[in-house]
Structure 1
Amino acid sequence: MLDRLTGMQVFVRTAQQGSLSAAARQMKMSPAMATKHVDALEERLGIKLFHRTTRKLSLNESGRQYLEFCLRILPDIEETEAAVSSQRIDVVGTLRLSAPISFGVRYIAPLVPEFSAMYPGVTVDLGLNDRYVDLIDEGWDMTVRIGRLADSRLIARRLAPTKMVVAATPAYLDAHGRPRRVGDLLDYNCLSYSLSDATGAREWIFGTRNQLRVPIRGNFIANNGDALVAAALNGQGILYGPDFLIADHVAAGRLELLPLDQPAYDMAGIFAVYPPDRRPPAKVRAMVDFLADAFAGVPAWQVD
């Protein structure tokens, strides 16, 4: 009898890739064996999971429902299996870790010495980039991502909360007045982050369900959060960004939070994200657990 867990994993890879041969390559098995696993799974379930043509496979409704189920339970099964199947797996090798620039400089890089002391056999290759990084295509072992996750192929573990805040220098607000409603922002110089739809050059997103698009205008757009913070600190305008960017400046009185009449954009959190391997490398599991422990509790960047 074919292994049920492997059958589920082959099914997930096939659904994600739209190809049995691509799934077979990822699983390091022959296309014939991958086909046997999918056929056995469909026979066991008593339903077909795919629409099949000569050119491609696509999920039918039953397949979509089963994919959602597999994506929910497979990480727990695989983690449990990995934990009990080996007393000790050496944590060694090069760990390619991607992170956003501002968060990586502030909160990831300072933790690396502690991680290295715990796992001297691991070399951490930290790549900082604010653009979207494709882990699988670009060969990263894992990434730290901030905000909502769009790629269902990946496994994510929430590390910490974060929230969006609106802020400016007290001097700027004394000179221009303090907005009370999101609609007032159109009367101010707004500093925009070009890599996020939530804080674009023409509108910012607010609301309990991220449904409120507020028109704004301003004379500075940047693709890096620290550049926007620098502009705000020099009195150029109002900043809308994650709390971890400005917590120290708020605590020191250099920036002032602006409580507006609508909730800020819901960031969902900060996540460790890695590819859906059947058994993630020990170095990846070690870093994910390490970061989860490091960021447990009230985050250092929390602002009121």
Structure 2
Amino acid sequence: MAYLTNLRMFVRVYELGSMSAAARDQRCSPAVASARIAELERHLGLRLFNRTTRTLRPTEAGRTFYDGAREVLEAVSAAEARVREDADALRGTVFAAAPLGLGRRVVAPAIPAFRAEFPDVHVRLRLTDRVVDMATEGLDLALHLGPLADSDLKVRAIADCPRSLVAAPDYVARRGMPADGEALVRDGHDCLMLRFPGAQEFRWTLRTPNGPRAFAVQGPVESDDGDVLTGWALDGLGVALKPDFEVADHLAAGRLVRVAEATPPDPVPLACLSPARASADPRVHVFAERMIAACRAGVAVGAPS
């Protein structure tokens, strides 16, 4: 097992580009991580990384060895998955991430039932509306709401989540009911934007009779937390673009109303992402299955009829 442990450390150092980051990922000290790489290099009789005080770069041999090492670890994970058919055999920790709204409303409430079924599987759940870097953050699984960039991650489509433009009734009474995206821009409606540091000009892509069109909306406030935007919309600060499952209760109770319904936003795809190294792990696979089922049930609410 020591050799496999060293292989796992090598793969994480290679992927993260940092001995200290890989040590954190593998729950050990940087000294232990360095010792494992040194032991692997002695076994192979060659250097896998060129190190300086500030940089760590794979050698040509390291780049070649990485592909084979990852294949070995994936094969071991797959073999373990085949023999762990009994739920009692599932143990360890799953590191997962989800968007804030989805995590609070759907994923977190599903964790107690999962833990009751698999008490030896621990869950470390991170909630953020930012796009996570799974390799850097050492995640086994991420629930992703939005378009996907090309990657080597394993992707499982979950659902297309309906979305709406919403505002509080008092905002509409004060500013008027925008009929469409054109009115949002023309009449200077306050739009509540989900934006992160470094984001450029913000646009909402809405469906028009002539096809999708990006509208350069503006507003006085913005946040990187989708639930903050919902709160601001409820307070009458402006118009928010929200997945329906996040605002279904508010719409049903009349605390929010749909606006600009002539040009609605397209549904947003929800997917489950896993690195290849994690997707074959039985505890990750079972956790993903339970969360995907919970998400499919949880996001299928609040869609306009």
TM-score clears 0.5:
yes
Cα contact 2:101–2:246 (8 A) shared by 1: yes
Please report how far the alpha carbon of residue 281 of structure 1 lies from its aligned counterpart in structure 2 after TM superposition. 1.0
Distance 2:220 2:232 in 1: 11
Q: Is 1:271 the counterpart of 2:271 in the alignment?
A: yes
Q: Is 1:125 the counterpart of 2:140 in the alignment?
A: no
Question: 2:47 corresponds to which residue?
Answer: none
Gaps of 5+ in 1: 1-16, 30-77
Q: Which moved more, 1:230-239 or 1:288-297?
A: 288-297
Distance 2:212 2:279 in 1: 38
Change in CA separation of 1:216 and 1:200 when aligned onto 2, cut-off 3 Å: farther
Gaps of 5+ in 2: 1-57
Distance 1:101 1:132 in 2: 11
- SS across alignment from 2:261: coil
Please report how far the alpha carbon of residue 190 of structure 1 lies from its aligned counterpart in structure 2 after TM superposition. 1.0
Change in CA separation of 1:255 and 1:24 when aligned onto 2, cut-off 3 Å: same
Cα contact 1:193–1:200 (8 A) shared by 2: no
Q: Identity, % of aligned pairs? A: 28
- SS across alignment from 1:217: coil
Question: 1:235 corresponds to which residue?
Answer: 236
| Residue identity opposite 1:125 in structure 2 | R
Cα contact 1:115–1:290 (8 A) shared by 2: yes
Please report how far the alpha carbon of residue 85 of structure 1 lies from its aligned counterpart in structure 2 after TM superposition. 6.0
| Residue identity opposite 1:108 in structure 2 | V
Distance 1:200 1:246 in 2: 27
- SS across alignment from 2:129: coil
Q: Which moved more, 1:257-266 or 1:221-230?
A: 257-266
Cα contact 1:99–1:145 (8 A) shared by 2: yes
Change in CA separation of 1:211 and 1:163 when aligned onto 2, cut-off 3 Å: same
TM-score (norm 1): 0.69
TM-score (norm 2): 0.69
Distance 2:274 2:232 in 1: 34
**Cα RMSD for the two superposed structures:** 3.2
- SS across alignment from 1:123: strand
Q: Is 1:302 the counterpart of 2:302 in the alignment?
A: yes
Question: 2:10 corresponds to which residue?
Answer: none
| Residue identity opposite 2:214 in structure 1 | R
Distance 1:132 1:124 in 2: 20
Distance 1:196 1:104 in 2: 22
Please report how far the alpha carbon of residue 279 of structure 1 lies from its aligned counterpart in structure 2 after TM superposition. 6.0
Count of residue pairs brought into register by the alignment: 238
Change in CA separation of 1:201 and 1:168 when aligned onto 2, cut-off 3 Å: farther
Q: How does 1:186-201 map to 2 (within 5 A)?
A: 186=185, 187=187, 188-195=189-196
Question: 1:42 corresponds to which residue?
Answer: none
Distance 2:223 2:205 in 1: 17
| Residue identity opposite 2:253 in structure 1 | A
Distance 1:214 1:127 in 2: 32
Distance 1:288 1:275 in 2: 12
